[in-house]
A = this chain, B = another copy of it.
Amino acid sequence: MSEIIYSGVQMKAVIPYKKASAKSRLSPVLTKEEREEFVELMLNQVIDTLKKAGIETIDILSPSMYGLEDMTRANVVLDKNDLNEALNRYLELAEEPVMIVMADLPLLSPDHVKGITSTKEDVCIVPGKGGGTNILFIKNPSGYRVKYYGSSFLTHCSIAEKTGQNVEIYDSFLAGTDIDEPEDLVELLIHGRGTAKEYISKKFRLDTSRGRVRLTPV
C-alpha cells in the first residue's frame, strides 16, 4: 500500500474530462477523430502519472460516458452540469484533500505530483499558459470553490485569499504546459515522452526555420 497520506488524511485526485469534440482549438491541425484519440492518450498518461506518484483514488469527472465505457483504471463520476458546477459539487462532498488535475498535461511527472501534494500551504496552484490553472491541490475542499475559464489562475489565488487560505504557486514549465493549441504540441515533441508524444510525432515534425520552433506535417 503506497497511498498518499497528507497530514494523516488520505487524498484523492479528480480529472475533469470530456472526449466528445474535445480540444477544438487544435482543429487547425487535427481532425475531430484525431483530437478524440489524442485526448484519450493524454488522459491515460495523466492517470499513469498519478498512480506512479502513489495516488490510489482517482476520479474522472465527465458529463458523459462517451469514451469511458471501458475505463477500469479510475472511477468515473458522471455530472452533466458545467465544469465549475460539477467540480464545486464534488469539492463540497469531499472529505479529504483533493487535487484537481487537468487531463491535458502529458508532461506532468510523478515528482511534480509529489511536490505539489507535499505543499505546506492550504492550496497549491500550478499555473498554465495564458492565465489558466493546470492543477489545484486543496487541503480543505469544502471550504473552497473553483472558477475555471478566463484568467482562472488569478481567480483561484483570489478565492484562496478571500477565504483565508494560504497559497503556494508551483513553478513548473512542464506541469505548466497544458496542450490546447498547435504551438503546445511543439512542447510535447520537445519535452515529452509516452504515447501522446508518439501519436503527435507520427503526424508532425519540428520546423526550426525561424523564431520559435513550429509544427510542420510529417
Contacts and interface: CB of A to CB of B under 8 A. Distances in A.
Contacts of A183: 130
Interface in A13-72: 25
Nearest to A134: B173
Interface stretch (A93-101, A136-144, A206-214): A206-214
Nearest to A181: B212
The copy count of this chain in the complex is 2
A213 B173 contact: no
A122 interface: no
A106 interface: no
Interface in A136-187: 149-151, 153-154, 171-176, 180-181, 183, 186-187
Interface string A177-218: 000110100110011000000000000001011011110000
B212 A131 contact: yes
B131 A208 contact: yes
A56 B190 CA distance: 34
Contacts of A211: 25, 130, 180
A110 to B, nearest CB: 14
Contact of A176 (B173, B206, B208): B173
A120 interface: no
B191 A151 contact: no
Nearest to A153: B190
Contact of A213 (B150, B180, B187, B213): B150
Which 5 residue pairs are nearest across A and B when measured between Cβ atoms? Answer: A130-B212, A150-B208, A131-B213, A173-B176, A151-B208
Given A153-B190, A180-B211, 19 more contacts: A127-B190, A129-B187, A129-B212, A130-B186, A130-B211, A130-B212, A130-B213, A131-B190, A131-B212, A131-B213, A132-B212, A150-B209, A151-B213, A172-B172, A173-B173, A173-B175, A176-B176, A180-B212, A181-B212
